[in-house]
Structure 1
Amino acid sequence: MLPDPNDAAHHHLVCPVCGRRQADDGLTLACPEPHAPGLWQSAYREAELAPDADRDGVYRYHRWLPVRRHLAGTGRTAVHRSERLAAALGLAELWIAFNGYWPERGGDLETGSFKELEAATVLGRLPEGAGTLVVTSAGNTAIAFAELCGRHRVPVVVVVPASALPRLRTRTPAVPWVRIVAVEGADYADAIALGDALAAQPGFVHEGGTRNVGRRDGLGTVLLAAVEATGALPAYYVQAIGSGAGAIAAHEAALRLRRRPEDPLPRLVLAQNASYAPVHRAWRTGERPWQCGADQQQRLAAEAAFAPELTNRRPPYDVRGGLCEALTRSGGQVWTADAAEARAAMADFEDLEGIDIEPPAGVALAALRRAVRAGRIDTGAPVLLNVTGGGRARLAREHVLVPRRADAVVPRSIVHDPVAVRDLAARFRDLDARSPAPELRPAGV
């Protein structure tokens, strides 16, 4: 890790509820004042977007990132204007923000997902010696943190539903300081609950999900990269969501980027699985599925989803600075797409653009197609499609990807057993990050 000469003094944290302003210690996730919850906002000393051509990857935007150090070898978003896909959709100006592996286009995210952007920023924000980081994930975030923590010797415990294990493959092989806990019979919400319980134990520190300004500002660099490439904010920002951290991040970045308060913000066009779409339901009907108490019904619906990464059962919707606020302020929309539509969209993207994309990106593209056909998109306006993951098929052909096995498999009931949680914490409290760095090899070597 390389120190940032600006260090943490180049930004402060601001509470959107009470206005409290404080220095960032790299760990805090919530305002300490007694009021309704809100998401910390980053306030940066630099008023204008000022990319640094001398910095690698995502740290090109370090002046608008809450980081105190940089990790060598990180990637960033590749942006290009589409011609063939744009024509197929009937759009005059479609820009692709590609997050994944696509060397010819500058796609250098070797986990195949924009979650690598958040991992690089969260780890850059984390102070040295903070303790063992706890991260929860339904798949892509787990891959990103396992990869980057493995390369940069950051002790971490990654908690995932057992069903996510087949998708966990990284270039970095297993190392002593990265441990994976799989929860049997669980979905993402169950993994989050166990992660919360584990992070509360001595010696551990909570990554925090959407509450972490590092995660959101790292994901916000997708929009920064797009504006750097195009010279202006798009009229529409399209993305598939689970928790919605990326959509909130794009909205926050747009607020920093727009020159005048009266200038329009990009309209969020968000997408979810048709089989499980809690944000879509909340936005369209006002009902909050996460408040209805039908956990088993929701769990079964989430298990049937085409893109399991999009199945957060408790999204940060009503919190100040959360999804509802971002959708309202931007005049946004929420759509769904079923498995057949998403698969067709994935095939179309590969045929027309020339690279494979992941299921969540397929859901986003399918939803965009539905929105255009419904007349909800101005086809003459600039549209930015966030392809949140892609190039993994090619990555697997060109590099050795190591399947990651669980270091512990635990039942879903463990979250309600304080003794079992303490025993689990004792196994992983002091992870050894002093071993030699792993060697990365291309395929066939």
Structure 2
Amino acid sequence: MDLAGHHPSHYRLLCTVCGRRSPDDGLALGCPEPHEPGLLRTEYQSTAFAPDPARQGVFRYHRWLPVRRALPDTGRTAVYRSERLAASLGLAELWIAFNGYWPERGGELTTGSFKELEAATVLGRIPEEAGTLVVTSAGNTAAAFAELCARHEVPVVIVVPASALPRLRTRTPGGPSVRVVAVEGADYADAIALGDALAARPGFTSEGGTRNVARRDGLATVLLAAVEAMGALPDTYVQAIGSGAGALAVHEAALRLRCRPGHEEDPLPRLLLAQNACYAPVHQAWRTGERPWLTGIEQEQRAAAERAFAPELTNRRPPYDVRGGLHEVLTESAGRVRTADATAARAAMEAFRELEGVDIEPAAGVALAALRDAVRAGELARGAKVLLNITGGGRARLARDHELTAHQPDLVVPREAAYRAGEVAGIADRLALRDRRPVVV
């Protein structure tokens, strides 16, 4: 479904390093100029925050999305003011941004995760001649792209650690457009390495992860939906992070909202980010200055990541020091990073279910546990406007209401294959054959 008047000229790409502005071909992931790495951002012709009442789902915010088409039947964030959980935390104004399946609250994300927001926007951005998209995931992003690519018949290769396969369940069966590659003995970083290598092959296109402006602006709609409901920016924004794309997106959206006439002096939301206690590279970097992805021993990093309560938060190479990255947005927002262990996260998940009435995912449990600790430590004023991003939830309800399809891998490859050019070429050839039978390489 095309968006009238939304040729990609309704926005430009801005390099955060050199300030270069350029039109978007729908695939750009970085600036072509020779300089240090930096994230691209979007600049929209419209500076007004004007949700479109004629559209449903994430494309309600199409004026601030880098898209050329809208996908029908997409969901968006359901935002409401909490009473019971807020009271238990001792907060006067706690708002929940619920991203998942909860029909009574308007939660219609059919894979139970806010990754569906980014998948819809990425598919709305890419040109039709893009070729086969390559997406790397630790679980939730894989499910989101599998669902939407199957539904809209967009060719995609999804690369996941084999341990993530149980989370790859969707309402729409895979079909011939969706191919899954499982990497045995791998973590998220290994899957990324294989995905990058495959995307460099002819006929394949990298989705790009955090570097993709569509991913971040899709996730930014969490804040846009919240501002619609709240009438103002929150004082504090709370989210669990792996790569931190959602946190970057919310900060970028806050900067955009602050550019509206009369809002130039609005304070930016203070980011409160959370990670697993046993594996918290961003927390370590922010608190100590030590970058574990540069100084840590890989074997120790892998072992720590494997113990994580919420494995989707275990990105070993987060976009921290890159221009426009996590260090920059934490600094600009006077942000903080906390950790939560498995016991605290499980207790938080149970508390949310009892007090709010729906199940939430482990990552959201980590975020809620971190918020509880921050309140107890006196880091948040009782009257502060707090926005808690429940990044995934309602999956137990979803499984009761709908039949879900488990996606079986088309290829199963060893971790070492990601680092051998000859094996990557063979994997690409096998995928091009579109033989739906699983093959162990």
Q: Same fold (TM over 0.5)?
A: yes
| Counterpart for residue 30 of structure 1 | 30
Give the deviation of 1:416 after TM superposition: 1.9
Whichever residue aligns with residue 336 of structure 2, its letter is Q
| Counterpart for residue 324 of structure 1 | 327
CA distance in 1, matches of 2:7, 2:369: 42
| Counterpart for residue 192 of structure 1 | 192
Q: Is the 8 A contact 2:6 2:69 kept in 1?
A: no
| Counterpart for residue 134 of structure 1 | 134
| Counterpart for residue 204 of structure 1 | 204
CA deviation string 1:334-353 (max 9, x = no partner):
00000010000000001000
| Counterpart for residue 243 of structure 2 | 243
CA distance in 1, matches of 2:265, 2:288: 29
CA deviation string 1:198-232 (max 9, x = no partner):
00000000000000000000000000000011110
CA distance in 2, matches of 1:121, 1:339: 32
Q: Is the 8 A contact 1:4 1:70 kept in 2?
A: no
Would you say 1:344 and 2:331 are equivalent positions? no
Provide the alpha-carbon RMSD of the alignment: 1.2
Distance 1:84 1:316, change over 3 A: same
Q: Percent identity?
A: 74
| Counterpart for residue 105 of structure 1 | 105
CA distance in 2, matches of 1:177, 1:58: 23
Give the deviation of 1:3 after TM superposition: 4.3
Q: How does 1:159-308 map to 2 (within 5 A)?
A: 159-258=159-258, 259=260, 260-308=263-311
Give the deviation of 1:174 after TM superposition: 2.4
| Counterpart for residue 145 of structure 2 | 145
Moved more, 380-389 or 1-10: 1-10
Would you say 1:370 and 2:354 are equivalent positions? no
CA distance in 2, matches of 1:431, 1:230: 48
CA distance in 2, matches of 1:135, 1:118: 12
Structure 2-normalised TM-score?
A: 0.97
Q: How does 1:355-434 map to 2 (within 5 A)?
A: 355-429=358-432
Give the deviation of 1:261 after TM superposition: 4.1
CA distance in 2, matches of 1:252, 1:272: 21
Q: Is the 8 A contact 1:176 1:431 kept in 2?
A: yes
Whichever residue aligns with residue 313 of structure 1, its letter is R
CA distance in 1, matches of 2:429, 2:56: 37
Whichever residue aligns with residue 174 of structure 2, its letter is A
CA distance in 1, matches of 2:275, 2:16: 27
Q: Is the 8 A contact 2:193 2:419 kept in 1?
A: no
CA distance in 2, matches of 1:37, 1:180: 30
Q: Is the 8 A contact 1:2 1:72 kept in 2?
A: no
Q: Is the 8 A contact 2:53 2:60 kept in 1?
A: yes
Moved more, 220-229 or 259-268: 259-268
The DSSP-based 3-state class of the residue aligned with 1:298 is helix
Give the deviation of 1:429 after TM superposition: 3.2
Q: Is the 8 A contact 1:318 1:325 kept in 2?
A: yes
Whichever residue aligns with residue 94 of structure 2, its letter is L
| Counterpart for residue 443 of structure 1 | none
CA deviation string 1:102-158 (max 9, x = no partner):
001000101000000000000000100210000000000000000000000100000
CA distance in 1, matches of 2:56, 2:409: 32
Give the deviation of 1:2 after TM superposition: 3.6
The DSSP-based 3-state class of the residue aligned with 1:220 is helix
Whichever residue aligns with residue 419 of structure 1, its letter is G
CA distance in 2, matches of 1:352, 1:202: 52
| Counterpart for residue 11 of structure 1 | 11
CA distance in 2, matches of 1:46, 1:430: 44
Whichever residue aligns with residue 144 of structure 1, its letter is A
Give the deviation of 1:302 after TM superposition: 0.2
Give the deviation of 1:263 after TM superposition: 2.5
Q: Is the 8 A contact 1:132 1:429 kept in 2?
A: no
Whichever residue aligns with residue 43 of structure 1, its letter is E
| Counterpart for residue 59 of structure 1 | 59
Structure 2: runs of 5 or more not aligned: 436-441
The DSSP-based 3-state class of the residue aligned with 2:180 is strand
The DSSP-based 3-state class of the residue aligned with 1:69 is coil
Q: Is the 8 A contact 1:4 1:67 kept in 2?
A: no
Whichever residue aligns with residue 203 of structure 1, its letter is G
Q: Is the 8 A contact 1:155 1:431 kept in 2?
A: no
Give the deviation of 1:395 after TM superposition: 0.3
CA distance in 2, matches of 1:25, 1:293: 38
CA deviation string 1:386-445 (max 9, x = no partner):
00000000000000001111110000000221111011111223759xxxxxxxxxxxxx
Q: Is the 8 A contact 1:157 1:178 kept in 2?
A: yes
Give the deviation of 1:363 after TM superposition: 0.3
The DSSP-based 3-state class of the residue aligned with 1:420 is helix
The DSSP-based 3-state class of the residue aligned with 2:417 is helix
The DSSP-based 3-state class of the residue aligned with 1:415 is helix
Q: Is the 8 A contact 1:85 1:353 kept in 2?
A: yes
Q: Which ranges of 4 or more aligned residues in structure 1 deviate by more than 3 Å?
A: 1-5, 259-262, 429-432
